[in-house]
Chain A
Amino acid sequence: MERFITEANLQQFAATLAGKKHVLAPVASGGTTCFRRLVPGMRLDFSRMAVISPKDATFPRNETLLLVQRYVEESGKKLELKEQLPEGECIVIGSRPCGARGKLIFDPVYETEAIKDPYYLRRRDNTLFITLSCDRPESTCFCHSVGSNPADGTGSDVLLTAVEGGFFARAITPKGEELLADALFEEAGTRAEEAAAKQTKARELMGQAHDFSSAAAKLLERFDDMGFWQAQSNKCISCGACTYMCPTCYCFNITDDEAGLVSRRLRSWDNCMSHTFTLEGSGHNPRGTKAHRLKNRVGHKFSYYPDLHASQIACCGCGRCIKQCPAGVDIRQVVMAAQEYVDER
């Protein structure tokens, strides 16, 4: 199904939807653009890619897994556990193809024969993505090098492309078709061609893709070369900016918040760049330095994950980790350094 919508009507469509459902959309505030829950008075900002990915929709930075209530009665102590499964539908409007596609990396991990993560699965199944294709790549974009492109609809329900006066909208899933049935969407007319031309132009602007196919093996070759990893991680400050910005990073922490007789089991984002991530109870830390940790982050995305999951690189090329890194660590450079490594000994 193909439709057209003016920008004003898209804002209106989002606002109406937000009255009924949980809508996450890029909103500008405080000089930056982040995905926020849309509430009356907010406008969508399509002018730039949101700083943080839309991962929050399917994998929130923080969620309560269960509530524990303790009772102390004359007859003895009692314990009540309440599972807190997420309710309701969420609609992400204005994600970019990379951000919408990033969540697909979660599936082989959170939905296996042995393990099914009910929280993630519920959210994933109840979240729709209305994605905006990109008309110009940023200096940090490399989706075309990891099997995607600036008009990739994989992982989305609707794909929008900016055309004269508004957006050309293409439904990708049946749920997407339902969304486009709204009266604010008009006949697409000849706009499909205009959109196709825009998409081709954007792809051309990206230039030649880099070939990462040797990365998995080459990174493994450098596994024990800590000198290499020390040099690569010199400037890294071991913060969590890269992982928390990343649409594909899926690691979490679980803590219990106790308050008297009530406690909450929380799941929150965690990241492999932090010292405490692998700190063991004994005090031993198998990834005690930032060199070990950067090796893991890059190795996991470009080598270990693809080895386990049908050669799929666990990076969608959004460039957020590069753009937001306070030290300017560039994951592309690190992988290429391993690919191009020549032993000079």
Chain B
Amino acid sequence: MSQLEELKAAIRGHLDSLDCVIGWEQGYDPLHATPLFIRNESDLERLSISPLAVHNPATYATGFAGKKIGMVVRGCHSRSIIELLNEKLIERENVVLFGLCCDGVVSQRKIRTALPADPGFVEAVEIGDDALHITLAGEKTTIKLQDVLADKCRICAYPDPLLADVLIGNKHDSRPEETLACQEAFEAKPNAEKFTFWQDTMSRCIRCYACRNVCPMCVCQDYCIAASRDPLWMSQENSPAENFMFQMIHVSHLTGRCTECGECERACPVDIPLMLLRRYMNKQVQEVFGHQAGTSLDKTPPLLTFQVEEARIKERDW
């Protein structure tokens, strides 16, 4: 039985007891997937788990408060679920997790760069074991999956779900923690250069808040301080400084909570490399608190708790 069929059989067995199961199906064209909310057999038929199926189902988890749902989760998605559980934002008995041992998903941005013309001209896509064969404006192009793998997948240390009720696929050997060359190169730049970069890049931001709303951990979005009028925390002015300020708010509210699922960056319609900020903060959290969000159950994020003596902060030795 193929992995997809195995997964479908597992979901079928649970459908009656669940409000829905969140997975993916083909989206508006053969190159794009879209989240699928499975409620019956005909929905289930459309399920797809190809490397184009990128969306983090955990984004929707808190929206189903009080209902029992299922979710198809990759390794990184399971981390978001664990973090939501740890923060008591969802309840374990209300979620059934169909785990996929994951070989990585694509970055649409990288596909766009790799293709000879805009991906909008796509006519057909064939997904091979290690390549995408894309027919674009009448011409066939082959792209190696390796070359268009999302950054998070290239350094993923947890490709197998850390929490699952059903596990599909073959487990991977344990992987070392790695860093991304592009992250290191950016961090090594002089501040003046980083400043110019963000000035320019943030001028593209339109404050649509897709980055905030797609974030599974951003749970107060309807009451976000970015939109509060009284007090008026943030100007509505659309300037690089204000736009960057919003990212500073987002990243600091995610301190020790961000599971590095990459959704914020993926959702940004104008391709702002937001993960540069998220990864930097996560690295600090790991260095200062030895904490990595969503990697083990029953851990409270360091800034949501208080220790009289922090193991790694040597206040007295100063």
Question: Chain A interface (Cβ within 8 Å of chain B)?
Answer: 29-32, 34, 36, 47-49, 51-52, 61-62, 136, 138-141, 231, 234-235, 237-241, 243-245, 253, 255-258, 266, 268-269, 271, 274-276, 319, 322-324, 326-330, 333
Contacts and interface: CB of A to CB of B under 8 A. Distances in A.
Contacts of A276: 222, 227
B113 A266 contact: no
A280 B27 CA distance: 36
A139 B238 contact: no
B213 A47 contact: no
Q: Which 7 A-B pairs have the closest CB atoms?
A: A138-B120, A328-B34, A326-B267, A139-B29, A62-B238, A240-B208, A275-B222
Contact of A52 (B27, B32, B120, B206): B206
Contacts of A255: 229, 232, 235-236
Contacts of B206: 52, 61, 240, 244, 269
Nearest to A240: B208
A323 B37 CA distance: 20
B51 interface: no
Given A30-B204, A61-B206, A241-B269, A330 B27 contact: yes
Contacts of A51: 269-270
Contact of A31 (B34, B113, B221, B222): B113
Nearest to B27: A328
Interface of B is mostly: loop
A194 B206 CA distance: 39
A210 B34 CA distance: 22
A5 to B, nearest CB: 23
A328 B55 CA distance: 10
A138 B121 contact: yes
Given A138-B120, A330-B27, A235 B267 contact: no
Given A140-B29, A275-B222, A48 B210 contact: no
B237 interface: yes
Interface of B: 20, 27-29, 31-35, 37, 55, 59-60, 109, 112-113, 117-118, 120-122, 137, 200-201, 203-204, 206-210, 212-214, 221-222, 227, 229, 232, 235-239, 263, 266-267, 269-273
Contacts of B273: 30
A48 B237 contact: no
A241 B222 contact: no
Contact of B35 (A253, A257, A266, A327): A327
Contact of B210 (A231, A240, A258, A268): A240
B235 A328 contact: no
6 contacts: A31-B113, A139-B28, A234-B60, A239-B213, A241-B210, A245-B269
B238 A268 contact: yes
Contacts of A136: 121, 137
B37 A235 contact: yes
A239 B209 contact: yes
A34 B200 CA distance: 12
B243 to A, nearest CB: 10
Given A49-B120, A326-B266, A237 B214 contact: yes
Contact of A240 (B207, B214, B235): B207
Nearest to A135: B137
User: Which of B120, B122, B200, B271 is packed against the most chain A CB atoms within 10 Å?
Assistant: B120
B121 A239 contact: no
A253 B232 CA distance: 14
B121 A266 contact: no
Contacts of A271: 208
Contacts of A330: 27-28, 34
A234 B229 CA distance: 29
User: Which of A234, A237, A256, A323 is packed against the most chain B CB atoms within 10 Å?
Assistant: A237
Contacts of B55: 235, 326-328
A241 B118 contact: no
Given A269-B206, A276-B227, A324 B35 contact: no
A31 B35 CA distance: 25
Contacts of A275: 221-222
User: Which of A48, A139, A324 is packed against the most chain B CB atoms within 10 Å?
Assistant: A139
B28 A239 contact: no
User: Which of A29, A253, A258 is packed against the most chain B CB atoms within 10 Å?
Assistant: A29
B236 A31 contact: no
B112 A62 contact: no
Contacts of B60: 234-235
A241 B208 contact: yes
B200 A29 contact: yes
Contacts of A139: 28-29, 31, 120-122
A323 B270 contact: no
A47 B227 contact: no
